[in-house]
Amino acid sequence: MNQALGLIVKLIGTFAAVYFVALFFPLHGYMNIFHALILSIVITLIGFVTDLVVPTALNNIVAIAVDFVMAAVVVKLGSNLFLNMYVNLYFALFVGLTVALVEFFYHAKFVRKAKM
C-alpha cells in the first residue's frame, strides 16, 4: 500500500512540476499537456525504479541528484520524439530542478533512508 501510494504521489508531483514549467516559462520551450503527461509518466517510472536502489545504496542527496539529471535528460530527449514540442537546455534544466524539489519532499516521506 505504501509503495502504491508513493507511486501515485510521485506521478502527481512530477506532473505538477513538469506542467508548471511548461505553463510559466514559455520563452524557453513549448510543451502541451499531453507531452507533460507522457514525460511525467516516463520520469516517474524511471525515478521509482532508481528510488528502490539508490537511496538504500548511497543516500537521499545522491538520489535527488540522479532524479535531477534524469528528468532533465528525459525532457531534452523527449523534445526530439514529439513533433510539436520545443525545449532548449534551460527549460530542461529548470524542469529537472523543479522535479528535484518535488523529489526532496517525496524522499522525506516515502523513501526508506540509507543506513549509515
Confidence band, pLDDT 50/70/90 cuts, at residue 93: very high
C-alpha separations of 28 from 23, 85, 86 in Å: 11, 11, 8
Whether 116 has a pLDDT exceeding 50, the answer reads no
Q: How many domains does the chain have?
A: 1
Whether 85 has a pLDDT exceeding 50, the answer reads yes
* Mean pLDDT across the chain: 86
Containing structural domain, residue 88:
2-110
Written as one letter, the residue type at 74 is: V
* Contact present, 85 and 56 (Cβ < 8 Å): no
What is the pLDDT at residue 7?
A: 87
Residue 82 lies in a domain: yes
Confidence band, pLDDT 50/70/90 cuts, at residue 83: confident
Residue 43 lies in a domain: yes
What does the alpha-carbon distance between residue 12 and residue 5 come to, in Å, rounded to a whole number? 11
Task: Look at residue 114 and give its three-state secondary structure.
Answer: coil
User: Inter-axis angle of helices 33-57 and 60-81, to 10 degrees?
Assistant: 150
